[in-house]
Structure 1
Amino acid sequence: MELTPIRVRGRRKRRAATKTKSLDEKENGESKAVALRRPKGGRPMMSFADKAASQSQAVARSHMPKKTSSAKRRRKLSRLECLPVELIEKIFLYSLDVDLPRSSPALAAALSRERMYRVFILLSFWNDVPVENDAAQPAIARILAPAEYERLDEERRKALQSDVLRCRWCTVQRILGQLPELMNLAIQKYWLGVGITMDVTNQQAFDNFLAKDGDTRIFEGTDSNGNHYTLSVIPLLSITVTCAETQEVNTHRILSVKGFPDGLLRGDDGFSDDDIAYLETLRTGHGFDAPGTDVSFSRDALQQGIHNALVEHNSRALCTLLKIDEYFTRHRLESEGTDPSASSYSIPPEHFHTAVTIAGDDPTIFQLLLRANAESLPADDSAITQWAMDLHSAFGSWLLDFMVQLPEHIDAARANPRTAGLFYMGRANHDIEPGRRYLDEVLGVTELSSWMDETEFDVTSLWETESPDSPS
């Protein structure tokens, strides 16, 4: 019986594998033959001469300047930047644009000079009022050099002063340094420039005063028409010219302030001694013989500064800021509205909460807030009531009684703040019962006058005269 043959498929694969193996062996044999023909030992060694040459080329490549992108290449100076410094200064003084030095480092280097700062301070703070028969122009031109003398109108000067006050270089020291020149400008313009002449005695006293060699500050003279004039000088603050025949009185401020910079009011970096002196210089420089309705400032920035001064427990800065706020805000509100109750001055009651949180047992900063506007005190406040009870002092007892009377007192004070308010411009009202008690029981004085003239930084003291007996 014949068997049917069975085909095994795996045999074909074994034959293919065998064939592949034979091919691999053939290729391996060829590779070994090629390898046998190659030189042994890898890359041939370099000679000493070639190695020295390669090392010298590597050192040379390391010292070659690296390629930079076109954006990092040194910028070519413009035609303006290539001008001589004198011409750049002339352009700067002609434009009066404080942003010009900020446009490039080259211009900043050319214009960041003391004589530029000096001219900008003089032009921005000098109130150059037109006068008839002005003969002071040559003297004024010499003072303002290298700028060419040209009177700035009120709006342009106000804008320039605002720009200058925002500059970092405009420090209180630089402003104080220019007060003598500003006073000289005012005397030249409103006394000598209008044709007033003095006799020998007054002229000698006047010359000694300007040389800081005399204490006389009142001088007399006559004009071409025979009218008699008197010059009264408060050094570095104001000059007053009075005509005897017409009784006309003109006061000219040495520092004509048109605004307060926001950063200085806020005290962004805290209130240093220089910051307080800066604020006091501007505040007292403006004076208190004008309402100041043309003085611009941000009251939001000012209130933030009051809050910061409270947090710092800085009574000096707080006092100055409250004076600025009350004086200029009261006058602004009174000039804008005819209804006193609708335009009454107040401060945020949150300041009183901050004060009791910070004050502890010291009521000084709380009393400063009261002196600014006592009617802004929250009438029924548990935190302030508890704080007053914990004081165990005459002021605490007075404060508790005043808070009880406050609701009915507010209406009268808003209707007539000057006569019915507890304080007005810092002056305590002795005509009302809470005012009398505050003076008698808390302060132990008979009177508390306006605090606007009070200052711890008197610029007049900077005008030091030499004593006749002092050694030369």
Structure 2
Amino acid sequence: MAPRKGEDSSRRTESRSLQPLRPNAISKSAQSAASKRRPGRRLKHSRDTPSQSRSPLTGSSASPSVAPPVRRRALCMLEVLPVEVIELIFLYSLNLNLPRASPVLAAAISREHIYGLLIILACWDDPPTDNPFSKAMAAILAPLDYVPLTLDERSRLQEAVFRCRWCTMQRVREQIPKMMILTLHRHWINAGMVMKPDQQATLDRFMTRQEGNKSLVLEGKGKPLHRFAELLSQQSPQIARMAQLPGPHDYELHIKPNVLVELRSLTWKTSIVWPAIQLHAFPPRLLRGRSGGFTADDVTFLEMLRLCSNNFWTRSSQLRPDSQTLVDRTALHQGVTNAIRTSNLNAMTSLLKIDEFTYRFGSHNDGRATYYTIPSDHFLTVTRSGRDNPHLNQAFFEALIRASAESIPAHSPEITQWCVENMQLGEQNPPKYSDINGRFAKWLSDFILRLPAQIDYAHNTPSAQLFYCGQLDVMDLEGCRFLDEVLSPCREPLMDYMDESSFHPEHFWVDKQGNEPS
């Protein structure tokens, strides 16, 4: 039967639609589309772009909106392990380059409890001892299978940790109470010290961090401690043998929250100190400051490290030689210059305290008095910076003199001009400048004339420097002049400022979140 007219036309249309277009037909259709498109910049296509990839079925270009599938990198055997196993591998190796190997490993390891364990391992002072390791200590360090580090291992780890960006002031501060609790467990509780019930209850409350942000003095009786015998052997072998006799021996425990633990032997009149942080060296990057100066957190970090590592307590002879803190003085005085140029008095004062303490009381001095100086360029930098604020500018100059008055450059035209200008301020505006800038500049101009004699005197007697740890020697002639000509009658004599700080370590002993440590 012959097809009807409608069927014949539909079949012809269907057969024509299944056939591929001829080249000339494609070009005509393209020309027709191009003629209808609005005039403007011509579209550019590259054969190498993913949107122009060829279709495997028709050989024509694929749609630009369809992106080719992205081939994912196959994970290695280490990356497919459970997160808990990756953490244990990292804590066992202590290789801080492991998170940099891949994003998967970085995501598995970059966790708050891992940061905390690294800080504890790097900063906890745990010297060799025969006291056992308790379950309470293991709970604080979980999931770490703790093995004590040697001094060299801890020093290298600490240097690497402080270089990391995640090692912030807040994270280090959170771990300091835990390190104190570990020290108390290791050297008092696990040593089997027996205390009176009321004092035991006081210590128990202190260990929970729910109260007790004040210093404590507790008494106890216990076995002879090997560490005391080592100390006494340096004085007398006979006394050292007596110190190892069976007890009980009488001990005193002195605790300054987040600062130090001191164990005193009342029987043998000696003591051992464990700082809250065993700081091998101040981080050079923190000493230098940022390119734009020191932030408030940077200054707090400096003060926290200074105080919590016991770099302010002048009884440093009780510290072990391996707990003395090193400092890169080049980096530190670069930070002093940075602080002066950015008008940050708190940062400069903190740096000067660190420099003087570590210089005067370092183990290399063997307890001898040391003549301390700072770079004289700091005084010249003050005369060139911050002159728009005379009061603050004078405070910078006075802080430098309080650190080392003998370091003032003699015969400096810039300092002479600075003195003249500040004396003129006192004359032109007495109510505002005469009591501070004018009086100080007048004393300074006279002191510079007597400076050579003062330097000779201080060289021969280092403890007779005009200022010692920020304290004015009022018994000395120059000290009396400074007191009469600068401080009196409105200001008190300047005292030792090593323990003065805007940061108070004991204030964060109490756990604000109410988390009771295990």
TM-score bracket, shorter-length normalisation: 0.7 to 0.9
- Matched residue type, 1:364: A
Match 2:503 to one of 436, 457, 463: 457
**Aligned: 1:345 with 2:372:** yes
Q: In percent, how many aligned pairs have the same letter?
A: 37
Deviations 1:131-159 (A, max 9, x none): 23x13443322221111111111111111
Q: Is the 8 A contact 2:215 2:256 kept in 1?
A: no
Give the corresponding residue for 2:222.
223
SS of equivalent to 1:62: coil
Name the CA shift for 1:426/1:200 in 2 (closer, same or farther; >3 Å): same
Deviation digits for residues 49-82 of structure 1, max 9, x if unmatched? xx99x9x9868443554599xxxx6433222222
**Partner residue, 1:120:** 118
Kindly provide the CA deviation profile for residues 163-215 of structure 1, in whole angstroms up to 9, marking residues without a partner as x: 11111111111111112211110110111011102232222222222233456
2:254 aligned partner: 232
Q: What's 2:193 paired with? A: 196
**Which one of the candidate residues 62, 65, 77 is aligned to 2:64?**
62
Please tell me whether the aligned partners of residues 172 and 278 of structure 1 are also in contact (alpha carbons under 8 angstroms). yes
1:176 matched to 2:173? The reply is: yes
Distance 1:430 1:59 in 2: 92
Match of 2:402 among 368, 371, 374: 371
1:152 aligns with 2:149: yes
Residues 446 and 45 from structure 1, CA distance in 2 versus in 1: closer, same or farther, beyond 3 angstroms?
closer
1:92 aligns with 2:90: yes
Task: Tell me, yes or no, if the aligned pair for 1:264 and 1:279 is still in contact at 8 Å.
Answer: yes
Are 1:374 and 1:422, in contact at CA under 8 Å, matched by a contact in 2? yes
**Which secondary structure does the structure 1 equivalent of 2:272 belong to?**
strand
Q: CA deviation at 1:394?
A: 0.9
| CA distance 1:415–1:337, shift in 2 (3 Å) | farther
Per the alignment, residue 10 of structure 2 pairs with none
After superposition, the Cα gap between the structure-2 partners of 1:234 and 1:46, relative to the gap in structure 1 and judged at 3 Å, is closer
- C-alpha separation between the residues in 1 aligned to 2:316 and 2:102? 41
Distance 1:334 1:128 in 2: 23
Correspondence for 2:381: 354
Unpaired runs of 5+ residues, structure 2, are 1-22, 34-54, 224-246, 424-437, 513-518
Counterpart residue identity of residue 418, structure 1: S
Residue of structure 2 in register with 1:39 after alignment = none
Q: Which residue of 2 aligns with 1:286?
A: 309
- What do the CA deviations read for 1:84-129 (whole angstroms, capped 9, x no partner)? 2111111111111112112221111110001101111111111102
Aligned to 2:467: 423
Secondary structure of the structure 1 residue equivalent to 2:380:
helix
The correspondence of residues 294-313 of structure 1 with structure 2, limited to 5 A, is 294-313=324-343
Could you say if the C-alpha distance between residues 334 and 368 of structure 1 is closer, same or farther in structure 2, counting changes exceeding 3 Å? farther
1:314 aligns with 2:344: yes
| 1:386-401 pair list within 5 angstroms | 386-392=417-423, 393-401=438-446
Which structure has the greater CA radius of gyration? 1
Q: Is the 8 A contact 2:327 2:355 kept in 1?
A: no
Q: Distance between the aligned counterparts of 2:253 and 2:419, measured in 1?
A: 52
Aligned length: 412
Q: Deviations over 1:212-233 (max 9, x none)?
A: 3456822222225322222221
Give TM-score, length-normalised by structure 2.
Answer: 0.73
CA distance in 1, matches of 2:409, 2:26: 96
Amino acid at match of 1:409: Q
Mark the CA change 1:67 to 1:124 in structure 2 (over 3 Å): closer, same or farther: closer
SS in 2 for 1:178: helix
Q: Counterpart of 2:154 in structure 1: which amino acid? A: R
Looking at structure 1, the residues matched to 451 and 304 of structure 2 have their Cα atoms a distance apart, in angstroms, of: 36
Work out the CA distance in 2 between the residues paired with 1:326 and 1:227.
38
- The answer (yes or no) to whether the contact 1:440–1:446 under 8 Å persists in 2 is no
How far 1:333 sits from its partner (Å)?
9.4
Q: Quick one: which amino acid aligns to residue 218 of structure 2? A: F
Q: What CA distance in whole angstroms lies between the structure 1 residues aligned with 2:287 and 2:346?
A: 13
2:105 match: secondary structure: helix
Q: Given that residues 140 and 149 in structure 1 are in contact (C-alpha distance below 8 angstroms), is that contact kept between their aligned partners in structure 2?
A: no
1:227 and 1:336 mapped to 2: Cα distance? Answer: 30
* 3-state SS of 2:262 partner: strand
The answer to whether structure 1 residue 276 and structure 2 residue 299 are counterparts is: yes
1:436 aligned to 2:436? no
Partner of 1:229, secondary structure, is strand
- SS class of match (2:498): coil
Contact 2:361/2:367 (CA < 8 Å) preserved in 1? no
| Residues in 2 aligned to 1:44 and 1:238: alpha-carbon distance in whole angstroms | 90
Matched residues in 1 for 2:475 and 2:197: separation? 52
Equivalent residue letter for 1:232:
H
**Could you say if the C-alpha distance between residues 313 and 44 of structure 1 is closer, same or farther in structure 2, counting changes exceeding 3 Å?**
closer
* 2:248 match: secondary structure: coil
Equivalence for 1:34: none
Q: 1:356 to 1:336 in 2, by over 3 A?
A: farther
Name the CA distance, whole Å, in 2 between partners of 1:425 and 1:103.
Answer: 47
Q: Which residue in 2 is equivalent to 1:77?
A: 75
C-alpha distance in structure 2 between counterparts of 1:115 and 1:180, whole Å: 15
SS of the aligned residue for 1:175 comes to: helix
Residue in structure 2 matched with residue 413 of structure 1 by the alignment? 458
Identify if the C-alpha distance between structure 1 residues 45 and 106 changes in structure 2 by more than 3 Å, giving closer, same or farther.
Answer: closer
Alpha-carbon separation, structure 1, partners of 2:507 and 2:84: 37
Check whether the contact 2:326–2:358 (CA below 8 A) recurs between aligned residues: no
Unpaired runs of at least 5, structure 1:
1-41, 467-472
Letter in 2 for 1:290: S
CA shift, 1:300, in A, is 1.6
Answer yes or no: is the 8 Å Cα contact 1:253–1:285 preserved in 2.
yes
Match of 1:403 among 431, 448, 457: 448
> Aligned in 2, Cα 1:332/1:187: closer, same or farther, shift over 3 Å?
closer
Partner of 1:111: 109
Look up the equivalent residue of 2:358 and give its one-letter code. Answer: F
Offset, 1:240:
1.7
